[in-house]
């Protein structure tokens, strides 16, 4: 699997996690629940953001995301 495919796979995992959650999730929560490295997490979030799938919220010093 090449890196682009891996990023897409991780984006799918994050999308599924957020779809099941139905609310904002802290970025670190996603990282630990899905066992992603910082690099893999942020590359996948960037993929989803580029596809206009996410809403971002920075609150109380924490970055949170949810599906649109």
Position 1 scores a pLDDT of: 83
Per-residue pLDDT at 21: 94
Under DSSP, the state recorded for 23 is S
pTM over 0.85: yes
Please name the residues in contact with 18: beta carbons below 8 A apart, sequence gap of 6 or more.
Answer: 25, 30, 54, 65, 66, 67
Among 27, 16, 32, smallest CA distance to 67 is for 16
Report the domain count for the chain: 1
Q: What is the CATH number of the domain that holds 42?
A: 1.10.10.10
Q: Which mean pLDDT values do the consecutive 10-residue runs of the chain (68 residues) have?
A: 95 98 96 98 98 96 96
Residue 46's domain comprises 3-67
């Amino acid at each position: 699997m090449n890196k682009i495919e891996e990023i897409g796979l991780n984006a799918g995992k994050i999308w599924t996690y957020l779809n099941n959650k139905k609310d904002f999730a802290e970025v670190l929560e996603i990282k630990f629940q899905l066992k992603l490295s910082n690099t893999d997490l942020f590359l996948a979030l960037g993929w989803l953001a580029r596809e206009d799938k996410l809403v971002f919220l920075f609150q109380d010093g924490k970055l949170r995301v949810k599906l649109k």
